[in-house]
Amino acid sequence: MHDFDWSSIPGALPFLWDGMKISLEITALAIVAGIVWGTLLALMRLSRFRALSWFAAGYVNLFRSVPLVMVLLWFFLIVPQLLEILLGLAPGTDARLPSAMVGFALFESAYYSEIIRAGIQSVPKGQIAAAHALGMSYGQAMRLVVLPQAFRNMVPLLLTQAIILFQDTSLVYVSALADFFGAAYKVGDRDGRLVELLLFAGAVYFVLCYSASLLARRYQKRAGA
């Protein structure tokens, strides 16, 4: 039987909190970028211009068919070099955080775009006809009539996806970034208390994600009522 010793946790809290900030930062950026880029991808996918809809379909299928961990590794290996070339950064600059963020954003937009596409299609065709009949252009009909209704219908799904995303951020450990999971791992490894730290980290993930999913369910109930 393992002898539990939780004593290394209190002292490590500030370090763990820094890790949590990185996890939340990546989550927030990936949500925003995922929704913006995902909306554009969804509009392309639904466009009557073949080239656009093929591009979007290809993008979505590509990112949905490779493991996130691999995408993160690619970006970990490629983005720092790209940044060096594009921005003239000195070689060896720490670009792990931006590269993780870019990787997440591009990967998650593929999932967001599918949610958003379904949301757009859930808006009755008559609404688009009514917008056009009032003289609105395609852009105005989308911006003023379709997207606001689509997003309102999608809130629970978007929240669920955000929860998954937050959990997925733990995968940035492959680039040795100290996100919340990475930080817990490092502390546990250092003090020889890996089991305790990982149990603690698991409990924190559970409490956060489960409360968020309760929130999503509550919203869904209220919207459905």
Partner 1 sequence: MISIRNVSKSYGSFRVLADCSTEVARSEVVVVCGPSGSGKSTLIKCVNGLEPFQRGEIVVNGISVGDPKTDLPGLRSHVGMVFQNFELFPHMTITENLTIAQVEVLGRSREEATERGMGLLDRVGLKAHAGKHPGQLSGGQQQRVAIARALAMDPICMLFDEPTSALDPEMINEVLDVMVELAQEGMTMMVVTHEMGFARKVAHRVIFMDHGRIVEDAKKEDFFGTPRSERAQQFLSKILHH
Contact residues for partner 1, defined by CB under 8 A: 124, 126-127, 129-137, 140, 144-145, 148-149, 152
Q: Based on the number of CB atoms within 10 Å of its own CB, is 3 exposed (0-12), middle (13-18) or buried (19 or more)?
A: exposed
Nearer to partner 1, 154 or 172 (CB): 154
Q: 156: part of which helix (H) or strand (E)? A: helix 147-168
Nearer to partner 1, 64 or 143 (CB): 143
Distance of closest approach, residue 187 Cβ to partner 1, in angstroms: 48
Could you tell me the end-to-end alpha-carbon distance of the chain, in angstroms, rounded to an integer? 50
Coil, helix or strand at residue 26: helix
Q: Which tokens is 215 given?
A: 């929130």
Nearer to partner 1, 64 or 152 (CB): 152
Q: CA 39, CA 42: separation in Å to the nearest integer?
A: 5
Q: CA 72, CA 132: separation in Å to the nearest integer?
A: 43
Distance of closest approach, residue 130 Cβ to partner 1, in angstroms: 4
Residues 6+ apart with CB under 8 A from 159: 212, 213, 215, 216, 219
Distance of closest approach, residue 140 Cβ to partner 1, in angstroms: 6
> What is the residue whose two structure tokens read 């969804």?
42
Nearer to partner 1, 128 or 157 (CB): 128
Nearer to partner 1, 11 or 148 (CB): 148
Distance of closest approach, residue 120 Cβ to partner 1, in angstroms: 14
Residues 6+ apart with CB under 8 A from 29: 101, 104, 105
Distance of closest approach, residue 126 Cβ to partner 1, in angstroms: 5
Coil, helix or strand at residue 4: coil
Distance of closest approach, residue 132 Cβ to partner 1, in angstroms: 6
